């Protein structure tokens, strides 16, 4: 046996695959991994099939097909008031996770520090480590999951190359507001810090809040890779199509990595999404659609011993289970799947410094019937 000195010694199989597998093995209702259990618009499937039949089945250009890049650029202009050049500032990727990896690999060097806010999505820290960078973890406050700006200031050093942010936030559903944007702008002003803004839940935002894209702000947009995902927006997580918009100089470096990670993303799906996005189909319905699901789930959970934490965006609802048990979150998530037949996600895989709190993440991107059946089981716990 040739010994392997792992580059990621503390990484196992992601919690999403672990919990979805456990749910399948046990026949449990799966509110763990974030994906809808309902289908996308059938016309979107027709569009993919049409593009396939019309022969769009070979490699796309590495930066993505032009109609999709144009549609993305037009959306940014219409929603956030910034014009990105489809030729030099928009790149289609095989999902948001690829985009995050590419951006980090493109600009982070050994010795660079990258600030992440925990709980943070499980791919961030491995991406930084593979690039040779040093993750600097700042904890969001509990239970508001707000940014501690004093801690952020203390975390910034001359070696800080990037800050990774995520709003609406996975796994907590927290959302950055205008006050946070001001603090972030002040923090990076005059520095060489780049921002990786994971905005994959941009259209899933509730209670009348406005999505504060980095694209809205000149000084922030000038230093930002913004990552988006069509899986979340079009209920097609399995199609794995996302994108990055960034100023040309950043995009040039980004594409150098992207073209050697996946080269290009699958062609007919890009054309079909372009058809929908060009007319902005399905975007504005998303927030009310998911807000109704959040509210249904919360209503169904009233009278349970789970206490909801505020969820202002994304399709995840955190629930505090301290009234039930004080066992560690991963243990309880597994026991809940086995004994009550509902799978969830613990937040510990998203944490590095903080002691994991007694909360679990439930995905409400599910048919109403699924949420009803799951809640009926959870209220008995």
Identity of the residue, 120 or 176, whose beta carbon is nearer to ligand GLN in the bound complex: 120
CA angle 73, 76, 81 (to 5 degrees): 120
Residue 347: CB minimum distance to ligand GLN, A: 11
Residue 145: CB minimum distance to ligand GLN, A: 15
Identity of the residue, 14 or 259, whose beta carbon is nearer to ligand GLN in the bound complex: 14
* 3-state SS assignment for residue 145: coil
DSSP code for 339: I
User: How far is Cα 271 from Cα 278, in angstroms, rounded to an integer?
Assistant: 10
Residue 36: CB minimum distance to ligand GLN, A: 11
Q: How many residues bind ligand GLN (CB under 6 A)?
A: 5
Residue 278: exposed, middle, or buried by beta-carbon count in 10 A (0-12, 13-18, 19+)? middle
* For residue 224, cis peptide bond before it (omega within 30 degrees of 0): no
Residue 5: CB minimum distance to ligand GLN, A: 26
The beta-strand segments (E) located in the chain are 29-30, 90-93, 113-118, 134-139, 160-166, 194-198, 224-229, 242-245, 307-308, 316-320, 342-343, 345-346, 359-363
Identity of the residue, 188 or 359, whose beta carbon is nearer to ligand GLN in the bound complex: 359
Q: Widest CA span of the chain, in angstroms?
A: 58
Q: Does residue number 11 form part of the binding site for ligand GLN (CB under 6 A)?
A: no
Residue 67: CB minimum distance to ligand GLN, A: 26
Identity of the residue, 17 or 191, whose beta carbon is nearer to ligand GLN in the bound complex: 17
Q: Does residue number 33 form part of the binding site for ligand GLN (CB under 6 A)?
A: yes
Residue 33: CB minimum distance to ligand GLN, A: 5
Residue 264 tokens, joined: 């290009």
Identity of the residue, 16 or 352, whose beta carbon is nearer to ligand GLN in the bound complex: 16
Q: Find the binding residues for ligand GLN in span 294-353 (CB under 6 A).
A: none
Residue 143: exposed, middle, or buried by beta-carbon count in 10 A (0-12, 13-18, 19+)? middle
DSSP code for 123: T
Count Cβ neighbours within 10 Å for each residue of 188-212 and write b for 16 or more, e otherwise. beeeebbbbbbbbbbbbbbeeeebb
Residue 170: CB minimum distance to ligand GLN, A: 5
Per CB under 6 A, the list member of 16, 142, 149, 352 interacting with ligand GLN is 16
Q: Find the binding residues for ligand GLN in span 148-187 (CB under 6 A).
A: 170
Residue 337: CB minimum distance to ligand GLN, A: 15
Identity of the residue, 250 or 311, whose beta carbon is nearer to ligand GLN in the bound complex: 311
Q: Find the binding residues for ligand GLN in span 222-251 (CB under 6 A).
A: none
Identity of the residue, 33 or 251, whose beta carbon is nearer to ligand GLN in the bound complex: 33
* 3-state SS assignment for residue 307: strand
Q: In what order do the strands lie in the sheet with 242-245?
A: 90-93, 242-245, 224-229, 194-198, 160-166, 113-118, 134-139
CB distance 209 to 48 below 8 Å: no
Identity of the residue, 184 or 334, whose beta carbon is nearer to ligand GLN in the bound complex: 334
Query: Nearest CA to 277 among 54, 65, 119?
Result: 65
Per CB under 6 A, the list member of 34, 36, 133, 308 interacting with ligand GLN is 34
Residue 129: CB minimum distance to ligand GLN, A: 17
Q: Does residue number 197 form part of the binding site for ligand GLN (CB under 6 A)?
A: no
Chain contacts with ligand GLN (rule: CB under 6 A) = 14, 16, 33-34, 170
């Amino acid at each position: 046996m040739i010994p392997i000195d792992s580059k990621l010694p503390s990484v196992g199989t992601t919690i999403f695959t672990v919990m979805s597998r456990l749910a399948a093995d046990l026949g449990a209702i799966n509110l763990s991994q974030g994906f809808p259990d309902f289908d996308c618009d059938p016309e979107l499937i027709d569009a993919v099939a049409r593009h396939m039949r019309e022969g769009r089945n070979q490699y796309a250009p590495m930066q993505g097909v032009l109609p999709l890049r144009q549609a993305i650029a037009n959306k940014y202009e219409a929603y956030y008031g910034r014009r990105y050049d489809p030729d030099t500032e928009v790149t289609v990727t095989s999902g948001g996770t690829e985009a995050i990896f590419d951006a980090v690999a493109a600009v982070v060097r050994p010795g660079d520090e990258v600030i992440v806010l925990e709980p943070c999505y499980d791919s961030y820290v491995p991406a930084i480590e593979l690039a040779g960078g040093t993750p600097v973890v700042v904890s969001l406050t509990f239970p508001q999951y707000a940014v501690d700006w004093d801690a952020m200031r203390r975390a910034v050093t001359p070696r800080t190359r990037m800050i990774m942010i995520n709003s609406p936030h996975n796994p907590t559903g927290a959302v950055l507001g205008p006050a946070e944007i001001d603090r972030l702008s002040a923090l990076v002003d005059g520095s060489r810090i780049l921002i990786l803004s994971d905005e994959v839940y941009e259209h899933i935002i509730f209670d009348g809040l406005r999505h504060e894209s980095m694209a809205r702000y000149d000084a922030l947009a000038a230093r930002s890779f913004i990552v988006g995902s069509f899986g979340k927006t079009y209920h097609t997580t399995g199609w794995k199509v996302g994108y990055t918009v960034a100023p040309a100089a950043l995009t040039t470096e980004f594409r150098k990595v992207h073209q050697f990670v996946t080269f290009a993303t699958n062609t007919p799906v890009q054309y079909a999404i372009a058809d929908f996005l060009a007319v902005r189909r399905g975007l504005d319905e998303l927030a009310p659609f998911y807000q109704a699901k959040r509210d249904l789930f919360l209503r169904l959970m009233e009278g349970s011993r789970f206490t909801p934490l505020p969820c202002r965006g994304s399709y995840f609802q955190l629930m505090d289970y301290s009234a039930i048990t004080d066992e560690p979150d991963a243990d309880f998530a597994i026991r809940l799947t086995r004994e009550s037949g509902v799978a969830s996600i613990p937040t510990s895989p998203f944490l590095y410094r903080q002691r994991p709190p007694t909360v679990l993440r439930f995905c409400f991107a599910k048919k109403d019937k699924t949420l009803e059946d799951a809640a009926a089981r959870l209220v008995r716990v």
